[in-house]
Structure 1
Amino acid sequence: MKREFATFVLAQFVLCELTRCGKACGPSEYSSAAGECCPMCGIGSVVSRDCVGDLSTTCKPCPPATYMNEPNGLNRCFPCRNCAESQGLYIQRKCTTIQDTTCDVLDGYYCIDFSNSQCSLAVQHKICKPGQETITLGTKTSDTVCGDCRHGFFSQLGLNCTQWTNCEARNEIESEAGSSVKDTTCVRPSRNRCSVIASLLLLLVTVILITTKSLLYHSKRIKSQDLPLPTEETSPMNVPSSPEEDEEL
């Protein structure tokens, strides 16, 4: 009987201590260091001095670059988030005394680390190399996906793979084969050169013929000038008689 009474007294003592030391406060109150249930400070502020007796809690507003987004019994505001460009982030919404900074991912970057449902670190999208094509563009949550160009295709900028030019289909001749980074080089057949050469040969032959004909003509003319002139034959009847012969007669 005495043992049961002692156990009862001990239980009551423990219960009283727990009730006194861990006094339950209301939903809009906090337990101060002195064990008092004090009214909480509202959003945008924190406790400057705990309540004492009939004096209520004294609150103070959050200083710049800090915030408090919930009723509290704290003595310090939360520091605002830093959206650093070096981390691939920019400020989407500035910090106020009642809400934290909202960061977002820069264009050309994607997030690789999240904190409290917000991106805390982003890195730049992969850039596809020449000889590759962009299969899937990068987003704010995923990187760019690249792929090598198939044989017969090329890409100079790493965007799209383009098929090599078919020189034969263009009635041209392939002068240099294509690769994964450059197109086939085609040239036109040298028809113009042949035409020019043929025209020059024809002109040359014509000049030679004209020159030859001119030389032959002048040669014949010179030969005809070198021949002796024909002499006139005289008959005895046509020879005039001398005066002496006339006297004898």
Structure 2
Amino acid sequence: MRKTFVRFVFFLLYPVAFGNDCGPSEYKSAAGECCPMCNIGTVVRSDCTGDLSTTCKPCPPGTFISEPNGLHNCFTCRNCVESQGLYIQSRCTTIKDTVCDVLDGHYCIDYSNSQCFHAQKHSVCEPGQETKIPGTKTLDTICVNCPHGFFSPSGLSCTKWTDCKARNEIQIEIGSSVKDVICTPKRRGRYILIIPVATLFSIILYLWQRNKSFKLKCYTLQHPVEETTSANTTEPKYNTPEENSEEPVIS
């Protein structure tokens, strides 16, 4: 593509550099004749001779010519190579070249004549870094290291370490540029919760036992235990034979 561009510029500047007695829309043939130029999209098939004008032919597919000219060959269309970070923005025609643009996530590293000829992927920030300036089509991504007290596990942005004290916790592991500190709840907080519960349970147990003892005493006073003696024991009474004989005889 660059060689084509150089040839085209040389063709345009040739009359200025070496002189040209022909008109602005003419070119000087190899025979020294001033011949009419071919229109855009066409090139010279045969130069003019005497009374015969220039004959032109259209550019074949895959070639183009974008200016009136006296050339015998068209320029080859440019290819936009994806592996070089480029894509086709507009396709080539007989009157204009292919227009390439930079793929997303890439930036141009070879730019000239308002065209990018090679692009590469944006740099990816490493863990412990963050993106200071995102990449563009002309500039690579700019990364910076996380300052002390911040971490970035993925390289996107730096996050401040967790403040364990603010969460009423204790720090059990220090942080780094790629990981956060590790906090854990304070253990004494558990004891603070257990002590009131244990105290309340002891009070309830004490009141329950006291109430049970009180009820037992009341029951004893209301229902005394009766002692049995020999005086209160009655023996069965048996009739004598005489008493039995006095009973009337039932016939």
* Alignment TM-score, normalising by the size of structure 2: 0.69
Q: Distance in 1 between matches of 2:19 and 2:126?
A: 67
User: What is the match of residue 136 of structure 1?
Assistant: 133
Identity of matched residues, %: 58
> Which residue number corresponds to residue 195 of structure 1?
193
State whether residues 23 and 35 of structure 1, in contact with CA within 8 Å, keep that contact through their aligned partners in structure 2.
no
Matched, 1:153 2:160: no
Change (3 A) 1:56 1:170: same
- How is 1:19-38 mapped onto 2 (pairs within 5 angstroms)? 24-26=20-22, 27-38=24-35
1:241 aligned residue = none
Structure 2 counterpart of 1:37, which letter?
A: C
- Distance of 2:195 and 2:58 partners within structure 1: 95
Match of 2:95 in 1: 98
The letter for the 2-side match of 1:152 is G
Instruction: Give the Å deviation of 1:52.
Output: 2.1
In the other structure, the counterpart of 2:107 is: 110
Gaps of 5+ in 2: 1-17, 217-224, 232-251
Which of 69, 72, 90 aligns to 2:66? It is 69
Partner of 2:182: 185
For 1:151, the aligned partner's letter is H
Structure 1 equivalent of residue 39 of structure 2:
42
Amino acid across the alignment from 1:160: S
> Does residue 122 of structure 2 align to residue 125 of structure 1?
yes
**One-letter amino acid matched to 1:138:** G
What RMSD in Å do the two structures reach over aligned CA positions?
Answer: 3.5
1:134 corresponds to which letter in structure 2? T
Q: Deviations over 1:98-147 (max 9, x none)?
A: 11122221222111112323110011111111110112222222111111
Taking a change above 3 Å as real, the CA distance of residues 23 and 52 of structure 1, as seen in their structure-2 partners, is farther
**Partner residue in 1 for 2:246:** none
Quote the offset at 1:36 in angstroms.
2.7
1:82 corresponds to which residue? Answer: 79
Deviations 1:153-200 (A, max 9, x none): 111221221211111122222232221112222233343465247636
SS at match of 1:104: strand
| TM-score (structure 1 length as normaliser) | 0.69
Determine helix, strand or coil for the equivalent of 1:120. Answer: strand
User: How far off its partner does 1:78 sit?
Assistant: 0.7
Q: Offset at 1:29?
A: 2.2
Question: Residues 68 and 207 (structure 1 numbering): CA distance in 2 closer, same or farther, change over 3 Å?
Answer: same
**How many residues matched?**
211
CA distance in 1, matches of 2:62, 2:209: 102
Give the structure 2 partner of residue 239 of structure 1.
Answer: none
- Indicate yes or no: 2:166 matched with 1:169: yes
Q: CA deviation at 1:85?
A: 1.7
Query: Which residue matches 1:53?
Result: 50
Residue 230 of structure 1, CA deviation: 6.9
Partners of 1:193 and 1:52 in 2: CA distance: 112
Structure 2: how far apart are the matches of 1:154 and 1:62?
Answer: 60
Is this contact kept in 2: 1:62–1:68, CA < 8 A?
yes
Distance 1:80 1:176 in 2: 62
Distance verdict in 2 for CA 1:232–1:157, change over 3 Å: same
User: 2: distance between equivalents of 1:180 and 1:23?
Assistant: 69
